[in-house]
Amino acid sequence: MTVYLRCRIEFMDRAAHRGLRHVALRVTDLSRSRAFYEQVLAMSVVWEPDADNVYLSSGTDNLALHQISRGELPAYAASPAQLLDHIGVILDDPDAVDRMYEAIQATIASFGGAIAKPPKQHRDGSYSFYFSDPDGNVIQALYEPTISRRE
Residue-wise pLDDT for 36-90, tens only, equals 999 999 999 999 999 999 999 999 899 999 999 999 888 777 666 666 889 999 9
Whether 79 maps to a domain, the answer reads no
- pTM of the predicted protein model: 0.81
In 3D, which of 58, 20, 64, 22 has the Cα closest to residue 38?
58
Decide if 90 is inside a domain.
yes
CA 147 – CA 52 distance, rounded (Å)? 34
Total domains in the chain come to 1
Cα separation of 88 and 34, whole Å?
17
How many C-beta neighbours within 10 Å does residue 88 have?
15
For 113-118, what is the mean pLDDT? 97
User: 24: domain range?
Assistant: 19-68+85-143
Q: Which DSSP state fits 15?
A: T
Q: Rounded to an integer, what distance in angstroms lies between the CA atom of residue 39 and that of residue 31?
A: 12
Q: Report if residue 47 sits inside a domain.
A: yes
